[in-house]
Structure 1
């Protein structure tokens, strides 16, 4: 027996129809707001764009603008469905998208902002995802099935800010952190994520605090 943790009915409606509804609302509101802003007689950034928006008043122009904004809303819905993951919980394991983790292999599950993180017995990230279910639903289900749910990262106190050439870190780890810092600044998420895996193989966990990297040694439980 398993249980799927996905969108609640209200959330499903919100994700499916909300962005498109916002697009329709903006179709009616944007030209009015643009004309009001132009009438203030003050310097405006992107004034040419605002003037174009304010000039939209004919039915066919509103229809075209509405179609564009609704299409943008539907694209947001599609992206949300792809990024947000349905989690399946069973008596012996849980599935996070394409990744399955046995309950006995987990040391902790917790939410870091909107991201659900699963740590294994060596405190490595066994899985991470953006869940479709809300926090209360996740917590209740995982506790009911005996999974090690935590309110926060149980190893948070072990993290230290990384500084290049810091004493105590092996040269190989420092080199990967240096390369990853560049990837983070370039917003190369995939490359930075791959380096996290490399660092875990070297015995260290890393998380980001803005543009700073925090590190800690892995902990076996």
Structure 2
């Protein structure tokens, strides 16, 4: 019998922390910062950016504190929006997995999925050619993800099943075709510039050339794709 899909998102506590926490923290900081600043200035010790501390400590009228608290609360709300924008809602069903990040919606049929695992904060789904069909930060924690994928019979792994095939990339070693070297070189520049979108596009280009890549900071590791 076909089961109802499971939607994996923030737990109740995590949802409260993400949706209200940053704004509340910002408001509280706006109220207490002037008191902390006055206390620090009165100590007459060397302070980095001392003029800033003096300005903040000078805010003692209620409306000045209220304005500052409102500004920091708005910044907290913007931080919440950014967290929601970059994290994935994961839906696990009998026949497919759906992954939704902002306006990006990925649907992967069960038959297309070779492995699912966590790598750091990211959820990774590999297809039958061992390409990364999806990589992103999920809203659910690892335990809930693992439980859902295992219950629905998906190939959950404790780690990357192809980890031993990776080689650290160094320029001009002669181990790779010229086209692959060119893409990895361009991608190294993108990683140094923190250009995530460009690095992702170059990852896709490597897939088309028959290679996978993963990152450790700005260092790249490559392997040939493996068909199942």
Q: TM-score range by the shorter chain?
A: over 0.9
Query: Any gaps of 5 or more consecutive residues in structure 2?
Result: none
1:31-83 Cα deviation digits (max 9, x unpaired) = 22222332333333222222211112210111000100110111111111111
Q: Are 1:202 and 2:209 matched, yes or no? A: yes
Match of 2:70 in 1: 67
**Distance (whole Å) between structure 1 residues aligned to residue 198 and residue 218 of structure 2:** 15
Contact 2:113-2:126 within 8 A present in 1 as well: yes
Match of 2:35 in 1: 32
**CA displacement at 1:28 relative to structure 2:** 2.5
**Distance (whole Å) between structure 2 residues aligned to residue 71 and residue 138 of structure 1:** 32
The one of 192, 195, 210 equivalent to 1:185 is: 192
Query: Any gaps of 5 or more consecutive residues in structure 1?
Result: none
**CA displacement at 1:209 relative to structure 2:** 0.8
1:141-220 equivalent positions in 2, closer than 5 A:
141-220=148-227
Q: Are 1:3 and 2:10 matched, yes or no? A: no
Q: Are 1:129 and 2:136 matched, yes or no? A: yes
**Distance (whole Å) between structure 2 residues aligned to residue 159 and residue 88 of structure 1:** 30
**Distance (whole Å) between structure 1 residues aligned to residue 147 and residue 20 of structure 2:** 28
**CA displacement at 1:218 relative to structure 2:** 1.0
RMSD over aligned CA atoms reads: 1.2
**Distance (whole Å) between structure 1 residues aligned to residue 160 and residue 172 of structure 2:** 27
Q: Aligned pairs, how many?
A: 221
Normalising by the residue count of structure 2, what TM-score does the alignment of the two structures yield? 0.93
Match of 1:78 in 2: 81
**Distance (whole Å) between structure 2 residues aligned to residue 149 and residue 166 of structure 1:** 35
Contact 1:96-1:129 within 8 A present in 2 as well: no
Match of 2:124 in 1: 117
Match of 1:102 in 2: 109
1:69-114 Cα deviation digits (max 9, x unpaired) = 1101111111111111211111011001100111121111111111
**Distance (whole Å) between structure 2 residues aligned to residue 160 and residue 54 of structure 1:** 54
The one of 48, 51, 68 equivalent to 1:48 is: 51
Which stretch of structure 1 is more off in the superposition, 163-172 or 32-41?
32-41
Normalising by the residue count of structure 1, what TM-score does the alignment of the two structures yield? 0.95
Q: Are 1:91 and 2:94 matched, yes or no? A: yes
Which stretch of structure 1 is more off in the superposition, 155-164 or 134-143?
155-164
